[in-house]
Amino acid sequence: MAACAPGADATGPDRDRSHLIELGSQIIDTRLVRPDTAPASTTGDGYVLVKFPGPVTAAQLQALSASAQIYTGLGASWTGVYRPGYKIARGAADLAALAPADTITVMATVFPDADVSRVAAAAAQLPGATVVGADAGQQVSRVRLRVAGADLAAATSALANLAEVFWIDVEGRRQLLNDTTIWVGQSGLNAGMTTPVFDHGIHGEGQVVGYIDTGIDADMCYFRDTARGLPPTNACDGGTTVDLNQRKVIGVDFLTST
């Protein structure tokens, strides 16, 4: 990958950006990469990077799309293969180098016309990895997996070598913070972590709260009542029909039709 390192002027204030491709993984100086000798990510995969000398025009895109499938604009004075190292986000590469003790969630983004099931099957065979989800979409497809920290570098490298994979990154850990938000919402940051609302016996039982916003998805899992179905809807008619037996949302009022 030394041939892909940016030149001496690539990070300075006067760098010539017309020669640079700035990815989320690294900066490519096209003057230092010979397209005819650069190895492909997978033999015969056919994916390449195309660099235009300036902002891409409609005519340039039309000419390119006549002979190629365009997945995303880079905005051609240079064309080079899409190497595996280009696919791994900086944050993922830096974390993999640390070999963390925790299990890490990895998201592999797959080209929309590729077989996402093949990527999921290949990911499931990686040491220390467990596939927890795969979804095919119109824009891109995704495979999510949990990887042991010690195996993160090998797993991301193996995924990057799959022709179908477009991008690889890690996801932050998600956790509930109810024990913190309870007192922050009631007394702020400088009141000794107290809960004055709860102290007055107000816990939410039997209380109705009105909420005005652009809309609510009453069928979302957080609000859904599997026993009673959707709550009543009052559509721009001034109605006030509610269902007090609903688990969460007792009624949805639309105040405007636009």
Per-residue pLDDT reduced to its tens digit, 232-245: 988 777 778 899 99
132: confidence class by pLDDT, cuts 50, 70, 90: very high
Q: Phi, psi at residue 188, to the nearest 5°?
A: 80, -165
Higher pLDDT, 163 or 66: 163
Q: Is 235 exposed, middle or buried (0-12, 13-18, 19+ CB in 10 A)?
A: exposed
The domains of the chain are located at 2-86, 88-171, 208-258
Identify the CA nearest to 133 among candidates 169, 105, 153, 175.
105
DSSP strand pairing (233-235 vs 252-254): parallel
**CATH 3.30.70.920 at 88-171, yes or no:** yes
Q: Tokens for 35?
A: 């397209």
Q: What is the dihedral of CA 241, 244, 247, 251, to 10 degrees?
A: 20
33-54 pLDDT per residue, tens: 765 554 444 445 677 777 777 6
